[in-house]
């Protein structure tokens, strides 16, 4: 199961990859980037390409974050 969140979050990066992000009043540490991909979106409506990260958090949870230009969003949380 997963839940679409799609809300802006604060992310701290290291060497281009997310290192931790702030979610529900606490910092979530990224243990590993499990997967990474780009999505182009509706380019004909001037939508920009996003980079998605599926990450494994230190507490064991799996999250999807995306970087849209300079803005980070938490896209999905896996149960």
Partner 1 sequence: MFLHLHVHSPYSFLDGASGITKLVERAADLGMPAIALTDHNKLSGSVRFIKAAQKAGIKPIIGCEVTMEGGFHLTVLCQNNTGYRNLCAVLTQAHLGNERESPMADLHTLASHKEGLFVLSGCRKGLIPSLILQKRFKEARQTAEYYKHIFGQESFVIELSESLLPGSMSLNKSLSELAASLNLPTVVTNNVHYATKEDFQIHDILTCIRTLTKLEDVHPERRLNSENYLKSSEEMKAEYKGYPEAFYMTRALAEQCECPLELRVQNFPAFAYPKGFKSSNHFLRHLVFQGAGGRYGKITHEVKARLEHELSIIGQLGYEDYFLVVWDLVNFAARQNIRHAGRGSAADSAVAYCLGITDVDPIAHNLLFERFMSLERGEKPDIDVDFDARRRDEVTAYVYKKYGDAHVASVATYNTFQARSSVRDVGKAMGYAQDEIGIIAKRLPHIPGYQIENAFKSLPELKSLDIPEKRLKTLIETAGKLSGLPRFLSTHLGGVVISKTPVTWLSPLELSAKGVNILQFDKDDVEDLGLVKIDLLSLRTLGAVEDSLGFIEGTKLDYDRIPLDDKATFRRLQYADTIGIFQLESPAQRGLQARLGAENIEDIVASVALIRPGPIKGDMVEPFIRRRHGEEDITYLDSRLEPILKNTYGVVLFQEQVIEIASVIAGFTPGEADKLRRVMTHGRSFDEMEKIGRLFIEKAVKRGVTEQVAAEIFKCIRGYASYGFCEAHARAFATTAYKTAYLIEHYPAEFYGSILNNQPMGFYPVSTICVEAKNHGVEVLGPSINHSGKDVAVTGLSIRIPFKMISGMKQNAITSIIRERAKGKFKSFYDFTRRVKLDSDILRNLILCGCFDEFGISRKSLLWQAKDACMVADSTPPQAEMLLALPDPVYCTHKAAGVPGQMEFSLGEKVAFEYQILGTGVSAHPMEIWRGKLRKQGFIASRELSSIKPGDFVKAGGIPVRPHRPPTKSGRTVVFLSLEDEYGLTDITCFENVYAKYGKFLFPGKLMPLGVWGQVQKRGNGFSVTAKTVFPLSYVLS
Considering the complex, state which of residue 24 and residue 46 has its C-beta at the smaller distance from partner 1.
46
Q: How far is the CB of 53 from partner 1 (least distance, A)?
A: 11
What residues from 4 to 63 belong to the interface with partner 1 (CB under 8 A)?
A: 33-40, 42-44, 49, 51-52
Size of the residue set binding partner 1 (CB under 8 A): 14
Cβ partners under 8 Å of residue 16, min gap 6: none
Q: Which residues of this protein are in contact with partner 1, per CB under 8 A?
A: 33-40, 42-44, 49, 51-52
């Amino acid at each position: 199961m997963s839940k679409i969140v799609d809300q802006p979050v604060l992310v701290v990066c290291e060497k281009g990859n997310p290192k931790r992000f702030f979610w529900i009043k606490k910092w979530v540490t990224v243990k590993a980037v499990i997967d990474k991909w780009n999505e182009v979106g509706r380019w004909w409506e001037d939508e920009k390409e996003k980079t998605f990260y599926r990450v494994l958090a230190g507490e064991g949870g799996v999250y999807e974050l995306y970087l849209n230009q300079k803005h980070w969003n938490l896209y999905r949380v896996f149960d």
